[in-house]
């Protein structure tokens, strides 16, 4: 009851705070966070998850008692796991510092259990190992499913039945792909919910953990000068661009079953679009933000086949080097028509965005690596300086660019007088280059997301109705592309992609930035 609380005793606020900190410390001393990386022998675990956990440990973001377990079928000892992951841990936070000691302390907290993904018995063994290492009774358990999607449900079944925390929370981070269309995604959700509540499921989209994607809301809602322009009245079009300068080498088996639309557009780019276009949420609470995102997604106009173009890269010789085509990969069928490039024009049927083209472009094996949001503004009505631009007025419109990666930046293209006695205008950038403005290194997306999952913060994870809305938009298109066996336009490895993307943009009077 209230009687024993400091409030009832009339303690002053400072003492009250100490009292609570005291309780928290005691609680922390008696509780353990255990993180089990399922699929620990795999690529993502090694490349992203263990390094992110180490970075969090390095930054003192993990609770006092934490342990990390790797789980997979491969037969490894604790030592062998430690050797594997130690090769990818980095001292990114302070490169001058030798963080060998910290690494060793971290690795001491890492263990391994070998088991099958569908064996309740093997998960029960994991449970007893966890219990032995957990200090006190209270344990919070986080499972990270870094495995192929066909075994998600097996693992969730076994883990929830045999290795859930008895005192404390149990949460599961699920990696994409979340199905490959509306039906399979709904089926996955249904199966997961047999064992877990929606609150326990953390569907990850690592683009939401990227610094500039998180900043999108800050830019919009904490600056007076952007939000008033954020509508069809001032914005001519918006572009979401993703490109990589390498192909699907090594991941062809996975990729061929999905293609670029499922791999990048339906999730990463659409998530960014939702954040870009949503109305102001009631608050920054996870449910408020996700409610707004769902609303935008549900307001989108169905995607038409004629508003989409697809491509696939072919082999190419450049600078004396031979670059392989998509179908040269031994894990890809020779006659595959899976797109490795796609461009699409999307529209939002609401008062704010009616008629504004939202263009997406995503591709592998292109000439450069970048992820950007580009906002092209309308012409200045009755522009006094029309004649000073020459004939191409399109080149004189303002453009706001958020460069998500690499070399994070936000810049605004403005028209400016070239200094001198004449009256000549040119376009210059107001440039916020992160590297120049912020000396500390930007954390990896997985660090932010793991930290949020540990804290129970769901804002950057995908709720099931959001996922449904995203699939509803893309599923009919994907089915039509597949039923009609639409052949992708071939483009050379390392090029700018198929010209079809330019015609698609031109149809809406847009030029790609
Ligand atoms: P891997 O293919 O490396 O698989 C992870 C582990 O799962 C393997 O080490 C293997 O462990 C086990 N495994 C692999 N194939 C099978 C199978 N057919 N049946 C049972 N077990 C299998 O995957 P990644 O690490 O690359 O990715 C993990 C998850 O993360 C996937 O869902 C992927 O889509 C997603 N993802 C990956 C990204 C990446 O960059 N790699 C990026 C974004 C998402 P063992 O044999 O020891 O049991
Ligand atoms: C993954 C895709 O989700 O994102 C990959 O499956 C892609 O195909 C990757 O390469 C890109 O992520 P990032 O963070 O390197 O831009």
Per-residue pLDDT tens over the stretch 274-312: 999 999 999 999 999 999 999 999 999 999 999 999 999
Residues of the chain above pLDDT 90, percent: 83
Ligand 1 residue neighbourhood (C-beta within 6 Å): 39, 41-45, 72-74, 117, 146-149, 151, 175-177
State in Å: Cα 205 to ligand 2 middle: 10
State in Å: Cα 340 to ligand 1 middle: 20
Cα angle for residues 411, 415, 416 (degrees, 5° grid): 105
State in Å: Cα 244 to ligand 2 middle: 9
Could you tell me the sign of the dihedral formed by the alpha carbons of 387, 392, 394, 395, in that order?
A: negative
State in Å: Cα 204 to ligand 2 middle: 12
The average confidence (pLDDT) of the chain is 92
State in Å: Cα 404 to ligand 2 middle: 13
Cα angle for residues 273, 489, 242 (degrees, 5° grid): 25
The pLDDT of residue 4 is above 70: no
In the block, tokens 């079809």 appear at 500
Range with the lowest mean pLDDT among 29-38, 143-152, 334-343?
Answer: 29-38
In 87-216 the beta strands, taken as DSSP E runs, fall at 110-114, 138-145, 170-174, 201-203
pLDDT recorded at residue 7: 45
Best residue for ligand 2 mutational test, from 258, 263, 462 (most atoms within 8 Å of Cβ): 263
Q: Which atom of ligand 1 is nearest to the CA of 45?
A: 25
The pLDDT of residue 393 is above 70: no
Residues in Cβ contact with 224 at an 8 Å cutoff, skipping those fewer than 6 apart: none
Q: Give the residue numbers marked as catalytic.
A: 268
The pLDDT of residue 29 is above 80: no
Per-residue pLDDT tens over the stretch 331-351: 999 999 999 999 999 999 999
State in Å: Cα 247 to ligand 2 middle: 11
- Considering only CA atoms, which of 164, 156, 144 is closest in space to residue 52? 144
Residues 423-429, mean pLDDT to the nearest whole number: 90
Confidence (pTM): 0.93
Task: Classify 172 as helix, strand or coil.
Answer: strand
pLDDT recorded at residue 26: 65
Ligand 2 site, residue 205, Cβ cutoff 6 A: no
Ligand 2 site, residue 307, Cβ cutoff 6 A: no
The pLDDT of residue 154 is above 90: yes
CA 266, CA 372: separation in Å to the nearest integer? Answer: 16
DSSP per-residue letters across 423-456: --EEEEEEEEEHHHH--SPPPPHHHHHHHHHHHT
For ligand 2, atom 2: residue with the closest CA? 263
Asked if residue 373 has a cis previous peptide bond (ω within 30° of 0), the answer is no
Per-residue pLDDT tens over the stretch 36-59: 999 999 999 999 999 999 999 999
Q: Which atom of ligand 1 is nearest to the CA of 73?
A: 48
The pLDDT of residue 252 is above 80: no
Two tokens, residue 278? 């949503």
The pLDDT of residue 16 is above 70: no
The pLDDT of residue 442 is above 80: yes
Ligand 2 site, residue 263, Cβ cutoff 6 A: yes
The verdict on ipTM greater than 0.95 is: yes
Best residue for ligand 1 mutational test, from 42, 179, 246 (most atoms within 8 Å of Cβ): 42
> Could you give the strand order of the β-sheet that contains 235-243, starting from the edge strand earlier in sequence?
425-433, 409-417, 399-405, 370-377, 235-243, 358-363, 341-346, 308-314, 489-492
Q: Are 149 and 188 in contact (CB under 8 A)?
A: yes
For ligand 2, atom 4: residue with the closest CA? 264
For ligand 2, atom 13: residue with the closest CA? 207
The pLDDT of residue 498 is above 80: yes
Widest CA span in the chain:
83
Residues 56-65, mean pLDDT to the nearest whole number: 94
Residues of the chain above pLDDT 70, percent: 92
Residues 118-142, mean pLDDT to the nearest whole number: 94
In 388-504 the beta strands, taken as DSSP E runs, fall at 399-405, 409-417, 425-433, 489-492
The pLDDT of residue 401 is above 50: yes
Best residue for ligand 1 mutational test, from 146, 178, 204, 206 (most atoms within 8 Å of Cβ): 146
């Amino acid at each position: 009851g209230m009687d024993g609380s400091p409030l009832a005793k009339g303690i002053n606020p400072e003492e009250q705070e100490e009292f609570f900190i005291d309780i928290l410390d005691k609680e922390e001393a008696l509780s353990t966070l255990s993180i089990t990386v399922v699929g620990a022998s795999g690529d993502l675990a090694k490349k992203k998850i263990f390094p992110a956990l180490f970075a969090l440990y390095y930054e003192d973001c993990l609770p006092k008692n934490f342990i990390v377990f790797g789980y997979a079928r491969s037969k490894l000892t604790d030592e062998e796991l430690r050797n594997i992951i130690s090769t990818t841990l980095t001292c990114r936070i302070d490169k001058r510092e030798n963080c060998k000691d910290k690494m060793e302390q971290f690795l001491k907290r890492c263990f391994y259990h070998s088991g099958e993904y569908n064996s309740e018995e093997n998960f029960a063994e994991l449970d007893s190992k966890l219990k032995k290492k957990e200090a006190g009774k209270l344990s919070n358990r986080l499972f990270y499913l870094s495995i192929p999607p066909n075994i998600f449900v097996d693992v969730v079944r076994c883990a929830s039945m045999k290795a859930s925390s008895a005192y404390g929370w149990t949460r599961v981070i699920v990696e994409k792909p979340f199905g490959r269309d509306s039906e399979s995604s709904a089926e996955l959700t249904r199966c997961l919910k047999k064992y877990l509540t929606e609150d326990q499921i953390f569907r990850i989209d690592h683009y939401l953990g990227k610094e500039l994607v998180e900043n999108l809301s800050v830019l919009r809602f904490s600056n007076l000068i952007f939000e008033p322009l954020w509508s069809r009245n001032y914005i001519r079009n918006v572009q979401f661009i993703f490109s990589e300068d390498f192909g699907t080498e090594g991941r062809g088996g996975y990729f061929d079953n999905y293609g670029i639309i499922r791999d990048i557009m339906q999730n990463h780019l659409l998530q960014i679009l939702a954040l870009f276009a949503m109305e102001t949420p009631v608050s920054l609470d996870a449910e408020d933000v996700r409610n707004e995102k769902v609303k935008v997604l549900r307001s989108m106009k169905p995607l038409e086949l004629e508003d989409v173009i697809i491509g696939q890269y072919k082999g190419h010789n450049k600078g004396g080097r031979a670059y392989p085509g998509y179908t040269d990969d031994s894990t890809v069928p020779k006659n595959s028509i899976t797109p490795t490039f796609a461009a699409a024009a999307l529209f939002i049927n609401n008062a704010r965005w009616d008629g504004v083209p939202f263009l997406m472009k995503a591709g592998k094996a292109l000439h450069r690596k970048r992820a950007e949001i580009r906002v092209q503004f309308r012409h200045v009505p009755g522009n006094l300086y029309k004649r000073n631009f020459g004939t191409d007025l399109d080149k004189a419109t303002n453009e706001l660019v958020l460069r998500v990666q690499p070399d994070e930046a936000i810049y605004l293209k403005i028209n400016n007088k070239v200094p001198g006695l004449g009256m000549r205008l040119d376009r210059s950038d107001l440039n916020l280059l992160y590297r120049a403005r912020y000396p500390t290194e930007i954390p990896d997306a997985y660090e932010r997301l793991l930290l949020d999952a540990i804290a129970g913060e769901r804002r950057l994870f995908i709720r099931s109705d959001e996922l449904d809305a995203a699939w509803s938009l893309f599923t009919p298109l994907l089915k039509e592309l597949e039923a009609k066996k639409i052949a992708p336009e071939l483009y050379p490895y390392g090029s700018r992609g198929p010209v079809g993307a330019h015609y698609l943009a031109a149809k809406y009077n847009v030029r790609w930035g």
